[in-house]
Amino acid sequence: MNSSTFVDQDGRPVTAVTAEEMRAIDRVAVEKIGLDLPRMMEHAGRGLADAVLRDGLTGQSDLPVTVLAGNGGNGGGGLACARHLANRSLPVEVVLDRARTEVDGVTAEQLRILEAMEVPIKSVDSGADLDIDTALEGVVVDALIGYGLTGAPRGAAAELIEAANDKPGTVVSLDVPSGVNATTGEASGAAIAPDLTATLALPKTGLAAVGGDLLLFDLSIPPAVYDRLDIDGGRPFGDKFEIPVSRA
């Protein structure tokens, strides 16, 4: 995998990064620049909402958009997206892959905002109030797992991935389809087959092996971060905040 795996609309190469490189980019952004996770997550959530709203995806029916969320940075971006959609009067509901009490950190902060907004939040763990099949009939936003995947998806995350794939509706994944290894593109178990992936900062190398459309969203990471790591990040966004990207 190299920088010519992806190109922008004008055929210019867009650098791809592995999960390890992206983790290093995040670390330098936080530790050396002070660009903290909540700030980046807000960009992720807004970009994802924008991806869901484009192409009139949500105009297809009155069914709620279901945001599937895990407990990491990916889930937190999905929850921020849910806020933006709800603010546009779209019916939105959140399905967590764990009990509410098991969500922590910045992701729990995002969840508390949604609770205050009275956005419906269900949890696979709460059993009785969730029928997975009927919950996934509208557009599905996949924010269960991103580049933090370890091994094949387990438990409720695996169940939700399979249920989402069984539905005919549109699935939009945040950063990487859940269950797909961000570096290799391999899926060693259940993996989302997305219609669209909204990936962040730079495409992940593994996305070369994934189907569906690709949009790249800016997280506002300064070029100095890439310079410090000797990664040729380029300036893929030009004067935009998001660009379509294709597999070369």
Ligand X SMILES: NC(=O)C1=CN([C@@H]2O[C@H](COP(=O)(O)OP(=O)(O)OC[C@H]3O[C@@H](n4cnc5c(N)ncnc54)[C@H](O)[C@@H]3O)[C@@H](O)[C@H]2O)[C@H](O)CC1
Q: Annotated binding site for (6S)-NADPHX: which residue ranges?
A: 73-77, 146-152, 175
| Count of chain residues binding ligand X (CB under 6 A) | 31
Under the binding rule (CB under 6 A), the answer on residue 203 touching ligand X is no
Q: What does 16-45 look like in DSSP terms, one character per residue?
A: -B-HHHHHHHHHHIIIII---HHHHHHHHH
Nearer residue to ligand X within complex by CB, 92 or 161:
161
Q: Which residues bind K ion (CB under 5 A)?
A: 74, 142, 173-174, 178
The site string for ligand X over 70-109 (x = CB under 6 A, - otherwise) reads: xxxxxxxx--------------------------------
Taking the C-alpha atoms of residue 58 and residue 49, their distance in angstroms, rounded to an integer, is: 11
Tell me the window of 37-45, 60-68, 132-140, 164-172 that interacts with ligand X (CB under 6 A): 37-45
> Residue 63 binds which entry of ligand X, K ion, none, with Cβ cut-offs from 5 to 8 Å by kind?
none
Under the binding rule (CB under 6 A), the answer on residue 217 touching ligand X is no
Comparing C-alpha atoms, which of 50, 126, 134 is closest to residue 93? Answer: 134
Under the binding rule (CB under 6 A), the answer on residue 174 touching ligand X is yes
Binding residues for ligand X restricted to 138-167, rule: CB under 6 A: 145-154, 157
Taking the C-alpha atoms of residue 194 and residue 145, their distance in angstroms, rounded to an integer, is: 13
Contact 167, 195 (CB under 8 A): no
Under the binding rule (CB under 6 A), the answer on residue 200 touching ligand X is yes
Taking the C-alpha atoms of residue 144 and residue 165, their distance in angstroms, rounded to an integer, is: 14
Contacts with 228 (C-beta within 8 Å, 6 or more apart), sequence order: 28, 32
Dihedral sign of CA atoms 174, 108, 148, 151 in order: negative
Q: Please report, as ranges, the residues that interact with ligand X according to CB under 6 A.
A: 22, 26, 37, 40-41, 44, 70-77, 145-154, 157, 174-176, 200-201, 219
